[in-house]
């Protein structure tokens, strides 16, 4: 059975998106890779909308079985973290809308899964992504390679794990539905 995985390296200016197929043999193959961009001089709402619309088209086109997102981590650049968190939220909303399970992976997990070292640099990650997928060159920019690394990480870490049947909600999705229903009832009551 083939599992299609959409990997997302969330970012407001550059959002890496990579789609791979994970085969029963644990082999992965490239389906699509790109970087969604928004103009930093544009209004925030428009920027989020541009990335959201493009992500939705990608989901409708490729119909992933799961969406793997790099977990937001804190660093000194609060502005960058906010953009990353906003796009992660958009991706999670779209996953909910289409009933697609979501997996979150830390940068260290991704690096370790792809290179064998949680301290690998971007060049090492890119080189291994190209090697694993049999590509003649590293996908550019680094956000594109990172999105594929996130998808590969998820595929290899979840290999053999049972996937929910079509239409079946994961525990996280059931929790989200219950919270949404409670909030709606509170607003109406």
Q: Is 56 a catalytic residue?
A: no
Q: Is 109 a catalytic residue?
A: no
Question: pLDDT per residue over 129-186, tens digit each?
Answer: 999 999 999 999 999 999 999 999 999 998 765 444 434 455 655 554 454 445 435 6
pLDDT of 72:
80
Name the catalytic one among 46, 109, 137, 143: 143
CATH number at residue 93: 3.30.420.10
% of the chain exceeding 70 in pLDDT: 83
75 pLDDT band (50/70/90 cuts)?
A: low
Number of domains within the chain:
1
Q: Which domain holds residue 144?
A: 3-188
Name the catalytic one among 70, 109, 121, 137: 70
Q: In what order do the strands lie in the sheet with 14-22?
A: 28-37, 14-22, 3-9, 66-70, 102-105
Distance CA 156, CA 129 (A): 13
Task: Report how many helices (DSSP H) and strands (DSSP E) the chain contains, helices first.
Answer: 6, 5
Distance CA 50, CA 38 (A): 7
Question: pLDDT per residue over 78-113, tens digit each?
Answer: 777 899 999 999 999 999 999 999 999 999 999 999
User: In the predicted model, is pLDDT for residue 76 greater than 70?
Assistant: no
């Amino acid at each position: 059975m083939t599992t299609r995985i959409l990997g997302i390296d969330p970012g407001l200016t550059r959002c890496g998106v990579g789609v791979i197929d994970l085969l029963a043999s644990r082999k992965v193959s490239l389906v699509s890779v790109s970087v969604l961009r928004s103009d930093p001089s544009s209004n925030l709402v428009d920027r989020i909308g541009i990335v959201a619309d493009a992500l939705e088209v990608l989901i409708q086109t490729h119909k992933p079985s799961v969406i793997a997102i790099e977990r937001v981590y804190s660093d000194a650049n609060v502005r960058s973290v906010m953009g990353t968190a906003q796009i992660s939220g958009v991706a999670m909303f779209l996953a909910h809308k289409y009933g697609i399970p979501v997996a979150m992976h830390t940068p260290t997990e991704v690096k370790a899964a792809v290179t064998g070292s949680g301290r690998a640099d971007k060049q090492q990650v890119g080189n291994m992504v190209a090697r694993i997928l049999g590509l003649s060159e590293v996908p550019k920019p680094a956000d594109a390679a990172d999105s594929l690394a996130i998808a590969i990480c998820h595929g290899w870490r979840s290999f053999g794990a049972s996937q929910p049947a079509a239409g079946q909600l994961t525990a996280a999705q059931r929790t989200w539905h219950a919270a949404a229903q409670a909030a709606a009832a509170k607003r109406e009551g």
